[in-house]
Structure 1
Amino acid sequence: MTRARKALIDLSSTSYYHLIARCVRRAFLCGEDKYTGKNFDHRRTWLVERMKLLSSVFAIDIAAYAIMSNHYHLVVKVNRQQALSWSDNEVIARWYKLYKGSPVIDRQLNGDTLSEAELLLVSELVERWRSRLYDIGWFMKNLNEFIAKEANKEDGCTGKYWEGRYKSQALLDEAALLNCMTYVDLNPIRAKMANNLEDSDFTSIQERIRHFKNSKSNAKKSNLNEAKCQAKQPKSLKPFGTRESENTLPFSLIDYLELVDWTGRHVHPKKKGYIPKNMPNILVSLSIEEATWLDRIQSFGSHYGNFAGSQTALRAHAAKNDMNWYKGVG
């Protein structure tokens, strides 16, 4: 049974979500269409550029992404407290980057004197916009509508482009977050569209690796402290850091890169390269067994429903929402 969106997005339980949107019928998001011979790879650029623009406007960070031929994956973090801390002027400035706004606020910005009723209306509008600027639904609406309009314009047609509403999964604990990010970053590997991480086009892991390598190269050329350069990460993506920091992902960048590479060598048997005998440190620190980890990567999409996490986390969240059971338990 389809659940109401408000029951799926619960910021009091988690700020991390896995989002998926798929094109309707045989509509192509990108890639080579074998039926028409057309190539739509340029639409991947549309999507990446648009989602990064929206992330810079909304209080929503991008932790991972993968753009496939007829669907895409996003792992995001909602920063509700950040949005609540914005001044009214900042909320207005951000909203106006995407929408026309309101005549009464235009008058206020022009320095006109407003009545008490008009000032109350301005306050109500600002708070409405503030709540929308950390709302996943509004983020996805803006992203998908923009891509649909551009694709339909290019195809010379009208009508539905996306297959219903987007799918969301709440990531209830660190293990689920790590599992989902790795699953997303390895999508091209699992689909046999690429043989290594650096060739996994339009993924966050490719972007992170390229940025990491450029940082190392720049450190050598300028004789800077290499550790400081390596610490620099793509500004448009949620950075890796430590569990203690609220503004970073709770893992180190090096540990994550090693984990995804190690996992990719297991889920893609034809891939050449050395497979380390020991599990990556990040799995050891989270007490995740090797077999369990690899099974979750292979079956993440089917193992969980709208919520992902340990059995304890799933049971607790189910009880909180007066549910007896969530997919993934047992």
Structure 2
Amino acid sequence: MTRARKALIDLSSTSYYHLIARCVRRAFLCGEDKYTGKNFDHRRTWLVERMKLLSSVFAIDIAAYAIMSNHYHLVVKVNRQQAFSWSDNEVIARWYKLYKGSLIIDKQLNGDTLSEAEQLLASELVEKWRARLYDISWFMKNLNEYIAREANKEDSCTGKYWEGRYKSQALLDETALLSCMAYVDLNPVRANMANNLEDSDFTSIQERIEHFKNTKSNAKKIESKQQYRTPNQPKSLKPFGVREHENALPFSLLDYLELVDWTGRHVHPKKRGYISNSMPSILVSLRIEKATWLNRVQSFRSYYGNFAGSQTTLRIHAAKNDVNWYKGVG
């Protein structure tokens, strides 16, 4: 049964969400179209650049992404408190990076005297914009509309470009977040488009690995894993850290890279290389069984519905929303 978006995006339960949008036309979002022989790889760059621009404007961080041939995945965190901390002027400045704004706000910015009614209207507008700047639907609307316009312009056509509204999954606990990020980063490996993480083009894990390799300060610390739990990381992506860091993902970067590489060697049987029997330490610390982990990463989208988490978390969230059952329980 279709659920209203407000029932799927519940920031009181979690700030992390998995988002998916799929192209409706046979013409590819990006990559090689075997029907026409055209290559649309440059559209991947459009998407990556646009989503990073939007992340710098919205109070929404990108934790993971994968741009595939006819769809894309995002894992994001909504920073509602960050939006509340912005001054009115900062809200206006951010909104004006994307939209034309308002004559009343323009008048205020020019230093003109506003009537009491105009001041009230200006305040209401700023608060409306503030709410939209941490709204996932506004983020996705801006991203998808921009890509659709550019693709239609390039294809000299009009009409629908996306098959429908974006799909979302609420990630209710750390295990759901971790397995979803791994699922997203391993998309090219599962699709047999890449044999390793470094060759997984247009994914967040490739960007993190390249940034890590190209940072001299990281290279100097390679002898001691404990020393570089929080190495220099891409500014456009939400950084890894530890649970005590409020603005970081609650895992270390190296643990995550090790985990995804280990997982990729299991879910992609054609991948060359030695498969270690020992589980990554992060699975041990989170008390996740190997078989359970591999099953959830390999079939994350089919294993869960609109909400992802442990059976206990899903039951609690279902009861909160007066629902008897969520996919992924039992």
- Please state which band the TM-score falls in when normalised by the shorter chain: over 0.9
Return the offset for 1:25: 3.3
Q: CA–CA distance in 2 between the matches of 1:230 and 1:174?
A: 18
Q: 2:223 aligns to what?
A: none
1:241–1:192 distance in 2 versus 1, CA, 3 Å: same
Alignment of 1:156-167 (within 5 A): 156-167=156-167
Does the aligned pair in 1 maintain the 2:66–2:187 contact within 8 Å? yes
Q: 1:112 aligns to what?
A: 112
Does the aligned pair in 1 maintain the 2:91–2:126 contact within 8 Å? yes
Instruction: Provide, for residues 188-244 of structure 1, a one-character-per-residue CA deviation record: whole Å limited to 9, x for no partner.
Output: 000000000000000000000000111147755xxxxx9579711000000000011
Q: CA–CA distance in 1 between the matches of 2:35 and 2:28?
A: 11
Return the offset for 1:297: 1.2
Return the offset for 1:27: 2.9
Q: 2:317 aligns to what?
A: 317
1:197 is paired with a residue whose SS is coil
2:215 is paired with a residue whose SS is helix
Alignment of 1:1-80 (within 5 A): 1-80=1-80
1:9–1:230 distance in 2 versus 1, CA, 3 Å: closer
Provide the TM-score with structure 2 as the length reference: 0.97
Alignment of 1:216-295 (within 5 A): 216=216, 220=220, 231-295=231-295
- Find runs of 4+ consecutive structure 1 residues off by over 6 angstroms: none
Structure 1 letter corresponding to 2:35 = Y
Q: CA–CA distance in 2 between the matches of 1:189 and 1:231?
A: 25
Structure 2 letter corresponding to 1:102 = S
Return the offset for 1:146: 0.1
Q: 1:145 aligns to what?
A: 145
Does the aligned pair in 1 maintain the 2:23–2:161 contact within 8 Å? yes
Q: 1:155 aligns to what?
A: 155
2:299 is paired with a residue whose SS is helix
Number of residue equivalences? 326
Instruction: Provide, for residues 234-272 of structure 1, a one-character-per-residue CA deviation record: whole Å limited to 9, x for no partner.
Output: 000000000111100000000000000000000011111
Q: 1:211 aligns to what?
A: 211
State percent identity of aligned pairs.
86
Does the aligned pair in 1 maintain the 2:243–2:249 contact within 8 Å? yes
Q: 1:223 aligns to what?
A: none
Return the offset for 1:106: 0.3
Is 1:202 matched with 2:199?
Answer: no
Return the offset for 1:298: 1.4
Q: CA–CA distance in 1 between the matches of 2:111 and 2:96?
A: 17
1:230–1:172 distance in 2 versus 1, CA, 3 Å: closer
Does the aligned pair in 2 maintain the 1:216–1:229 contact within 8 Å? no
Return the offset for 1:273: 1.2
Alignment of 1:123-134 (within 5 A): 123-134=123-134
Return the offset for 1:327: 0.6
1:218–1:4 distance in 2 versus 1, CA, 3 Å: closer
Structure 2 letter corresponding to 1:42 = H
Instruction: Provide, for residues 124-162 of structure 1, a one-character-per-residue CA deviation record: whole Å limited to 9, x for no partner.
Output: 000000000000000000000000000000000000000
Return the offset for 1:274: 1.8
Provide the TM-score with structure 1 as the length reference: 0.97
Instruction: Provide, for residues 103-135 of structure 1, a one-character-per-residue CA deviation record: whole Å limited to 9, x for no partner.
Output: 010011011010010000000000000000000
Note the aligned Cα RMSD (angstroms).
1.5
| Greater Cα offset, 183-192 or 276-285 | 276-285
Q: CA–CA distance in 2 between the matches of 1:274 and 1:258?
A: 14
Q: CA–CA distance in 2 between the matches of 1:183 and 1:295?
A: 10
